[in-house]
Amino acid sequence: MTSTLSGRGANTRPARPARRRGAAVGLLFIAPAFIGLLALYLIPLVRTVVLSLMETGPFGGGKFTGLSNYEALLGDEAFWHALRNSAIYTAIVLIGIPLAILVSALINNARRGRAIYRVLYFLPVVTLPVAVGMVWRYIYNGDFGLLNQFLGLFGIDGPSWVADPQVAIFAVAIVGIWMTLGTNIIILGAGMQGIPEELMEASSLDGAGPVRQFFGITLPLLSPSIFFVSVLSVISSLQMFDLIYVMIGRGSPALDGSKTIVFLFYQKAFIENDQGFGAAIAIVLLMIIMAATAIQFRLQRRWVFYG
């Protein structure tokens, strides 16, 4: 699903053995990456697993305590709140996908100005999340923020969006939609370019209007790209950290109501220096991501159309 880049397509004919000199030289090419993988990923992974089974103090050291970190985690209200917040954030960001489909279809339909639309919708993607969070935090300000002043025009008295624990995670997730729309539009747009023009022409000769073409042809043929986008969105949304850090921040009354799993992880492992507990959070996060991805792969059989 990722071979679209060069447009040449993957020319994967079965590799002929490079005449036996292959093995050693090939391994030499791979060696630097392998060393990095070992030192920075494989060994750390093992260490994280081990740490998660240990009681660690803030100054290092620690003793093996089995699953006690996991027990503490599951009994910790903050964990369940974080889980709930991450789930809400992810669910709302997923609502951005139908929106992205609509916008890509519109851009695809436009005869002029496609390039400029792509650039404008993509701007938030290339802006620092920290900067994005700061701008939206200002717009969301309860007293003089632009949003509430705008809502005031219609007689609506908006809440203090990011200071109110009840609404903060929703407000942040809206920014999440805004920030990821551009990425989704580009991936879906590439998928739409791949739909054969003849299909469209044939159907319009048969009298199908643009709406019927959209639901009858575009959507089914686009479903592999939609699936891809939703898998990626779930994985990255479950790891949301930056926006919470900037828009809510430590010391905010809304923090407990909007802390995500990765924020909790950061707080436990690096602010409170409880590495064992932090490691347990990371492992649980991995399991959640794997489960969410597996569920999506199961469900795809029902709706993804591989023509």
Partner 1 sequence: MGETVLSRGRASRRPTQWVTHTALILGAFVMVAPFIWQLLTSMKTIPESRAVPPTLLPGTFNLSSYERFFDMVPFWGLLAVSLGALLLRVAGQLLICALAAYGFARFEFRGRNLLFGAFLIMLMAPSQLFIIAQFDLVKGLGMLDTVPAIALPGIFSAFGTFLMRQAFLAIPREFEEAARLDGAGSWRIFWQIMLPMTGPTLAALTVLTSLYSWNDLLWPLIVTSSKETMTLPVGLAALQGQYGTDYPLLMAGSFIVSLPLIIIFVALQRQFFAGIASSGLKG
Interface with partner 1 in residues 250-279 (CB under 8 A)? 262, 265-266, 269-270, 275, 278-279
Write out the binding residues for partner 1, residues 130-149 only, by CB under 8 A.
Answer: 130-132, 134-136, 138-139, 143-144, 146, 149
Of residues 233 and 302, the one with the C-beta less far from partner 1: 233
Q: Which stretch binds partner 1 (CB under 8 A): 18-26, 77-85, 86-94, 156-164?
A: 18-26
Write the interaction track for partner 1 spanning residues 197-236; mark x where CB under 8 A is met and - where it is not: x--xx--x-----x------------------x--x--xx
Least distance CB 261 / partner 1 (angstroms): 9
Least distance CB 89 / partner 1 (angstroms): 15
Please report the DSSP string for the chain in residue order.
--TTSSSS----PPPPP-TTTHHHHHHHHHHHHHHHHIIIIIHHHHHHHHHHTEEEETTEEEEE-TTHHHHHHHT-HHHHHHHHHHHHHHHHHHHHHHHHHHHHHHHHH-SS-HHHHHHHHHHHHHS-HHHHHHHHHHHT-TTT-HHHHHHHTTT-----TTT-TTTHHHHHHHHHHHHHHHHHHHHHHHHHHTS-HHHHHHHHHTT--HHHHIIIIIHHHHHHHHHHHHHHHHHHHTT--HHIIIII-TT-TTHHHH--HHHHHHIIIIIS--HHHHHHHHHHHHHHHHHHHHHHHHHHHHH----
Of residues 124 and 176, the one with the C-beta less far from partner 1: 124
Count the residues of the shown chain that bind partner 1, applying the rule CB under 8 A: 113
Distances 20 to 23, 28, 99, 231, 290 between C-alpha atoms, Å: 6, 14, 53, 40, 39
Least distance CB 78 / partner 1 (angstroms): 16
Of 67, 78, 119, 202, the residue at the interface with partner 1 (CB under 8 A) is 119
Q: Which stretch binds partner 1 (CB under 8 A): 65-73, 84-92, 111-119, 297-305?
A: 111-119
Of residues 166 and 204, the one with the C-beta less far from partner 1: 204
Write out the binding residues for partner 1, residues 78-107 only, by CB under 8 A.
Answer: 103, 106-107
Q: Which stretch binds partner 1 (CB under 8 A): 30-38, 79-87, 162-170, 215-223?
A: 30-38
Write out the binding residues for partner 1, residues 35-54 only, by CB under 8 A.
Answer: 36-37, 39-45, 47-48, 51
